A and B are shown apart, each in its own frame.
Chain A
């Protein structure tokens, strides 16, 4: 019979709408202000800490909603942000530097929805506020370091086998070895080929003397690249863990890029300091015998010494010899010095470092020791229209202290300006030096106020655009217009449900995409209804007109939507961040609109008119 759907079609539509509504539901619930506690060392938070936190809050009379554990982290929800902020301050003091207490907004999805894995949409950084960094790993340095390591290895190898060489050194992207005679060269070549199969050997011609050139094999280069990126990601993850960001994203992009997204981070300066710097420390003894003023004024630096500057740009004369470096530090944490109550950094050394430190300090009690903080900052200059990267080594004396006693494995640095600074220093030390320096090549920061404004504006635009279309359709197509309106509403529900289900990132352009699909989704109904009107005008019966209208409009609708879909897919492939969000919502909107505008409205039409005698249609 004409214009009747089989029962299963109705059930299918009903089922889809039901499931859609269910998964769209979590977005209606708001968010709880919450505090998240995690361990700086990445260990799960223990029940002991949980009890301690609860006790602290109860003692201070801070009311909380619930305490839950999630992925080894503790989440305490509050009724208002006032309690949240107070709790953060209290817990930060009570738990010390081993734990990170971070502010968070936790979705207050009810348990029964969480049980079916229904979650609210994942908001992009432009809506929730936060920082997006694109970092580029400096591969040239990574390769340079690898070559330097090989230089050391080769020297040892040759020496062990008693092959005499004149020189082994790194020259740009290769290692060059110089020998006295052909015999040594041949022996070395055979030995290296056997022991270091990763090196590609060649004898450069046209040069006097006996040269051997070694370069890294392509496989080795790939391995070094991958390793450098991986190690940087690991280090970044550690550092970011300590920033206490709730849902950070750290991903490799392309060959030598890393994307870092930190939702909710407001102090971007600090985030950049911690992420962007490759820092290490050197401990030097202070030269107590010579006058620094003389050295600066005459430019005559005593042999074995070097002039360093502290943060107030005051010069200080240090012995060149490095006692230990940051590599030998196994742990660093911040806290308060027990005697003076000043902020301090507690440092733990590895075995070798501890031995050296012990020897040095035992011999130099009463003398001063300086801590030099070395940072590799990378800047980009434009030179002849091309970006040129320059790595700057910034050395700064951050602390000078008198050696009071012989140091053991564990010692402390005091004299820091603030607890915050102690924290940062400890953080940088612990995360260690990066494998290869990284540079931030793109940053997008959205402050929380702008994120809020974007959500509000986006929401208003969707609602107003939606209502305008609803009214227009109802006026223009009457009963059929109302059916289209219903379909449009469920289209919106389905888009939201799919976005929630896929946990695809919703961005501001994404919202624009939703608004656009609201306009475009009715196109299918306009096409169908215009066709029905035409059929009616041609003198067909209402039933036949409905049937023909849907039938004839279908291929047009499909063609029209597929072309837009092609554009959306290209956009998705090209897209970065926000633009990708637009591509996602546009494609989802097109797909769901085909379902609701064709099947959905047809089902209602069939229910209302199908199998009945209809004199005229309200269209």
Chain B
């Protein structure tokens, strides 16, 4: 079974200006959104308290809010999670008291009102100092990952290709973050982990294409850069789509079956895989071309200095 005919020869590079336009527009949207409203940072980074409880019966939210307001938490955000019996309470860190005791007080207040023992499903409390620390470390982790990859790719490829690959990866990272920013999806630690995985994955795709470009430059002596890149993208297209599709299938499975904990995680990967596939075709190669990669740069370096030459 095959999805693509072997004779396939789509002129990907010919559409590069259009696609570059698309990339530039989405990146600008992402950057504008990130700079104006930043990310909807979750509790991991902002600090605060989150309590998830399950009632033995379905419960009305206004009542719960009233209970919490009288117990001294007027700023608490209350919502249903999954069913009418599950309630999620968030208390922002700006509250007067944000010690670890707070979750106990909230639970006690809810239990008193409900007159029954509630099933405590989850409590998360992150102190303000821990939150800002995690945010800082998270940003650094992203930088280090990009840096490490830059170094590796620079060692393996010619610098124009490696710069193209890393820029494409940065493009994907900004797009994914922008997606979370525009749609206000909560950004927590696991999402950050997924973004790092996207960095690895997106590069993975680009490298496969670049490997082929390098190979084709050496093989297709007559062809110009555009032809070489087009052929490389076409030859690897089947693999690119197949792998993306399979990875997408499992990530979508994770989205639907993995439960609430990995929701953001799977969204980040779904977005990241889509954009990563796009960028490995339409962003990375044109970038390398605009940077001026040519056949001469990729020819194997012949050892011209022999032992005999070195002898005085």
Contact = CB atoms under 8 A, between A and B. Distances in A.
Interface stretch (A196-204, A420-428, A576-584): A576-584
Contacts, number: 253
10 contacts: A269-B108, A441-B130, A442-B126, A457-B259, A460-B257, A512-B262, A519-B248, A519-B250, A526-B246, A570-B145
B128 A382 contact: yes
A562 B157 CA distance: 14
B158 interface: no
A241 interface: no
A444 B123 contact: yes
A445 B120 contact: yes
Contact of A387 (B128, B247, B269): B128
Contact of B200 (A378, A387, A530, A568): A568
Interface in B71-87: none
Contacts of B242: 476, 526, 530
A561 to B, nearest CB: 8
A559 interface: yes
B59 interface: no
Nearest to A481: B1
Interface in A82-102: none
A93 to B, nearest CB: 23
Given A382-B93, A516-B197, 18 more contacts: A268-B104, A440-B99, A442-B130, A461-B254, A469-B246, A469-B250, A511-B258, A515-B251, A515-B258, A516-B250, A519-B246, A519-B248, A520-B243, A565-B200, A567-B145, A567-B200, A571-B196, A575-B193
Interface string A579-619: 10011001000000000000000000000000000000000
A533 B246 CA distance: 19
Given A382-B128, A441-B129, A570-B144, A560 B193 contact: no
Nearest to A257: B130
Interface in B191-223: 192-193, 196-197, 199-201, 203-205, 207-208, 211
A334 to B, nearest CB: 23
Contacts of A217: none
Given A449-B121, A530-B238, A441 B127 contact: yes
A195 B119 CA distance: 60
Interface in B245-277: 245-251, 253-254, 257-259, 261-262, 265-266, 269
Chain B residues touching A, range: 35 or more
Interface of A: 126, 133-134, 136, 266, 268-269, 272, 276, 377-382, 387, 439-447, 449-450, 453-454, 457-458, 460-461, 464-466, 468-469, 472-473, 475-478, 508-509, 511-512, 515-516, 518-520, 522-523, 526-527, 530, 533-534, 537, 555-556, 559-571, 573-576, 578-579, 582-583, 586
A276 B127 CA distance: 14
B18 interface: no
Contacts of B120: 266, 268, 445, 447
B190 A579 contact: yes
A450 B100 contact: no
The 9 closest A-B pairs by CB, nearest first: A567-B200, A564-B200, A519-B247, A441-B127, A465-B250, A440-B100, A574-B141, A445-B123, A457-B259
B109 to A, nearest CB: 13
